[in-house]
Amino acid sequence: MKKFLKISSVTILVIGIVSVVALLLFGRNNHSNLSGSVSEKIDQYLTNEKFQGTVLIAKEGEVLFTQGYGMAAPGLPNSPSTLYQIASLSKTFTAVAIMQLVEKDLLSLDNPISQYFSDFPNGETITISHLLSHSSGIPDYLTENAEFDYSKEWKPNDIVNTIRDSELKFTPGKSFSYSNTGYVMLGLIIEKVSGQSYANYIEQHIFEPSNMVNSMFTVPPGVPKAKGYVDGKVGPFIHNSAAYAAGDIISTIEDLELFDRALRNHVLISKETSELMSRTHAKKFPHQYGYGWYTQDVMGKQAVGHSGGYPSGFRHYVTRLNDEELTVIVLSNEMTINSKRINRHLTSIVLQQPIWIWQEKF
């Protein structure tokens, strides 16, 4: 969610890990596994930084490195099977669901949202494409409502209604402004077009074909999951309805890798659709966004990625280098990593480039 997704320590951490792997892996003939020295370097770095969370690195369908650090909850160490609220990483799932419906000719990216929200202001000029790329101009309910109550149960339409009477931030399609509201509306469109609840659609059409057996929207009683921490203390309670299609999925790092693999193998959407999602459709310096992904450049290589965060203490980032089929996933349940120290460490030892380059790209 935007107000918690500014360039953060976890984002810098992901950039560093991508760079470690890229610098030490791309020059080798054998990309099928990480050498002991690379694994040790990554592990030592994360240990030294007192990183709390889980990291996974995969290449060409093979997991090269995955490990948990610190505690997920009292008495529960972080591990690759730990359940996390993945927050805005959910947006990619929502975008994939929309693109599945497009492939089935059940909707068009050019459809105005007035077809689904008959009385929404300016609905005739805002398209599904605008919602997907954060170029609708619809205000973000999380920034427009400083007093938004994360602790209570929300209905998606009630979330949309919090900004219904607000003016658009710009003419649709003319700029970029991250809007959780737009993705809540996409979830409602999925429901109206498919005839299923958003959760049921995602479970049937994304979780199941990806074999994501440990992903869900509500954790059953007694099943442990990660708690978010702020300054070493458990963060505030967030109700699992507070973001809906913009950020309510609960998953593990292992399942997120299966999702990534299903996308790369064109199990969920076609290659052409995946490429369309990875193209830039909206930008406002320094941001570039496709459909459900930030579009990026990592060491001169085309990439996509997404961040995710909750004020309860969760900080996540996914980076996918498309041509090399390299994916780095970082899930963290501690908000207060020293990003400046990590930034300096990665700049001087790994990246060997001015840090402003990375700030522009991410």
Does 205 have pLDDT greater than 80?
A: yes
Q: How distant, in Å, are the alpha carbons of 10, 58, 288, 294 from that of 21?
A: 16, 10, 24, 21
CA nearest neighbour of 112 among 104, 103, 121: 121
pLDDT given at position 356: 40
Does 164 have pLDDT greater than 60?
A: yes
3-state helix, strand and coil shares in percent for the chain, rounded to the nearest 5: 35, 20, 45
Does 339 have pLDDT greater than 60?
A: no
Centroid of chain to Cα 21: 21
pLDDT given at position 249: 98
CA distance 353 to 344: 11
Span of 50-64, 205-219, 297-311, 341-355 with lowest mean pLDDT:
341-355
- The model's pTM: 0.88
Give strand pairing partners of 166: none
pLDDT given at position 36: 58
CA nearest neighbour of 317 among 335, 329, 299, 301: 329
190-195: Cβ within 8 A, 24+ apart: 190/94, 190/97, 190/98, 190/101, 190/245, 192/116, 193/101, 193/106, 193/107, 193/116, 194/101, 194/106
pLDDT given at position 5: 38
Does 355 have pLDDT greater than 60?
A: no
SS3 314: strand
For the residues 163-176, what does the mean pLDDT come to? 96
Residue at token pair 């990439």: 303
237 token code pair: 């309670």
Residues 6+ apart with CB under 8 A from 221: none
Span of 37-51, 61-75, 162-176, 212-226 with lowest mean pLDDT:
37-51
Structure confidence by residue, pLDDT tens digits, 100-144: 999 999 999 999 999 999 999 999 999 999 999 999 999 999 987
162 token code pair: 């919090």
pLDDT given at position 257: 96
pLDDT given at position 18: 53
Q: Between 78 and 31, whose confidence is greater?
A: 78
pLDDT given at position 258: 98
CA distance 228 to 236: 8
Report the run of H or E that residue 76 belongs to, with start and end: strand 76-77
Span of 113-117, 229-233, 276-280, 294-298 with lowest mean pLDDT:
294-298
Structure confidence by residue, pLDDT tens digits, 237-281: 999 899 999 999 999 999 999 999 999 999 999 999 999 999 999
CA distance 171 to 124: 12
SS3 149: coil
- Looking at every residue in the chain, the average pLDDT score rounds to 84
Strand segments (E) across 148-278: 229-230, 233-234, 250-251
